[in-house]
């Protein structure tokens, strides 16, 4: 599948597969040109939308199972056009990233500590596919980023695997001294 995705070179590609159990209607596997990911944005709602149009699926709900076993409820509403709704998991906030992790994140983004908003959060947040939440100091900083996608993917997935989701995380103080 990854070979096909790399040939297409789209930012997100989804494969829709038959169900393999009674708790879902279809299986979906999401890919970027670099790797398989647990879930993604546009393809998550695009796949059921395309299927609804192509196969004339009626209004209703279905459950799609991702490659990591996450079950996503998708609502299809037919009218003048097809509308798709997705019920995602509850947002889970992981632990604050430690100072060394923030430094690695900034290196992977091609940024410096000056890029961070003072007292802004730097933590892992997930509704099924972990992301790092970081507040940057402005659009000029965002425009100047030179990210290393492989380093970002590796770091985020490693941090997400160890993030605690049992309680909301406090905020990282970006300019605080270590210790």
Sheet strand arrangement including 92-96: 92-96, 122-126, 131-134
Q: Are 152 and 124 in contact (CB under 8 A)?
A: no
Angle at 95 between CA 11 and CA 148, to 5 degrees: 30
Active-site residue, from 12, 77, 80, 92: 12
Count of other CB atoms within 10 angstroms of residue 50: 15
Is 92 tagged catalytic?
Answer: no
Q: 99-109 vs 149-162: helix axis angle to the nearest 10?
A: 150
Active site residues: 12
């Amino acid at each position: 599948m990854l070979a096909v995705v790399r040939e297409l070179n789209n930012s997100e590609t989804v494969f829709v597969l038959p169900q393999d159990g009674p708790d879902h209607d279809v299986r979906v596997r999401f890919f970027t040109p670099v790797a398989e990911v647990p879930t993604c944005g546009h393809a998550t709602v695009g796949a059921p939308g395309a299927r609804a149009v192509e196969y004339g699926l009626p209004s209703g709900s279905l459950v799609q199972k991702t490659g990591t076993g996450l079950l996503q409820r998708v609502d299809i509403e037919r009218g003048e056009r097809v509308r798709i709704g997705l019920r995602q998991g509850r947002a889970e906030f992981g632990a604050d990233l430690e100072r060394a992790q923030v430094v690695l994140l900034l290196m992977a983004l091609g940024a410096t500590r000056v890029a961070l908003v003072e007292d802004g959060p730097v933590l892992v947040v997930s509704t099924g596919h972990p992301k790092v939440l970081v507040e940057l100091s402005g659009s000029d900083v965002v425009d100047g980023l030179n990210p290393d996608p492989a380093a970002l993917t590796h770091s985020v997935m490693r941090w997400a695997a160890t993030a605690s989701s049992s309680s909301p995380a406090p905020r990282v103080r970006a300019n605080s001294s270590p210790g």
